[in-house]
Amino acid sequence: MHCPFCSHEETKVLESRIIEDAMRRRRECLKCSTRFTTYERALFNIAVIKRDGHQEQFEIAKLSSSIQKACAKSEPEVVSHLAQTLYRKILNKRTNPIKSSVIGSLVLAQLKKQDQMAYVRFATIHKKIEDTKHLEKELNLVTREQRVSSKLSE
Ligand SMILES: [Zn+2]
Residue 4 within any structural domain of the chain: no
Number of structural domains in the chain: 2
Kindly write down the DSSP assignment for every residue of 83-131, as one continuous string.
HHHHHHHHHHTT-SSEEHHHHHHHHHHHHHHH-HHHHHHHHHHTT-S-S
CA of 142 to the centre of ligand 1 (A): 60
Q: Provide the residue range defining the domain that includes 74.
A: 47-153
Residue 133 within any structural domain of the chain: yes
Residue 42 banded pLDDT, cuts 50, 70, 90: confident
Q: What is the CA radius of gyration of the chain?
A: 22
51-105 pLDDT, tens per residue? 899 999 999 888 998 888 888 877 888 888 899 899 999 999 999 999 998 999 8
CA of 27 to the centre of ligand 1 (A): 10
Helix (H, G, I), strand (E, B) or coil at 28: strand
Residue 3 within any structural domain of the chain: no
What is the end-to-end Cα distance of the chain in Å, rounded? 60
CA of 30 to the centre of ligand 1 (A): 7
CA of 35 to the centre of ligand 1 (A): 8
CA of 19 to the centre of ligand 1 (A): 25
78-91 pLDDT, tens per residue? 888 899 899 999 99
CA of 46 to the centre of ligand 1 (A): 35
> Above 90 in pLDDT, residue 142?
no
Query: Looking at the structure, do residues 37 and 86 belong to the same domain, yes or no?
Result: no
> Above 90 in pLDDT, residue 11?
yes
pLDDT of residue 66: 87
Residue 23 within any structural domain of the chain: yes
Query: Looking at the structure, do residues 37 and 62 belong to the same domain, yes or no?
Result: no
Q: What is the pTM of this model?
A: 0.63
CA of 123 to the centre of ligand 1 (A): 52
Q: 60-70 and 76-92 helices cross at what angle (nearest 10)?
A: 130
CA of 7 to the centre of ligand 1 (A): 6
Q: Which percentage of the chain shows pLDDT scores above 70?
A: 82
CA of 14 to the centre of ligand 1 (A): 15
Query: Looking at the structure, do residues 129 and 55 belong to the same domain, yes or no?
Result: yes
Residue 68 to residue 36: CA distance in whole angstroms? 33
Query: Looking at the structure, do residues 74 and 127 belong to the same domain, yes or no?
Result: yes
Mean pLDDT of the chain: 84
CA of 5 to the centre of ligand 1 (A): 5
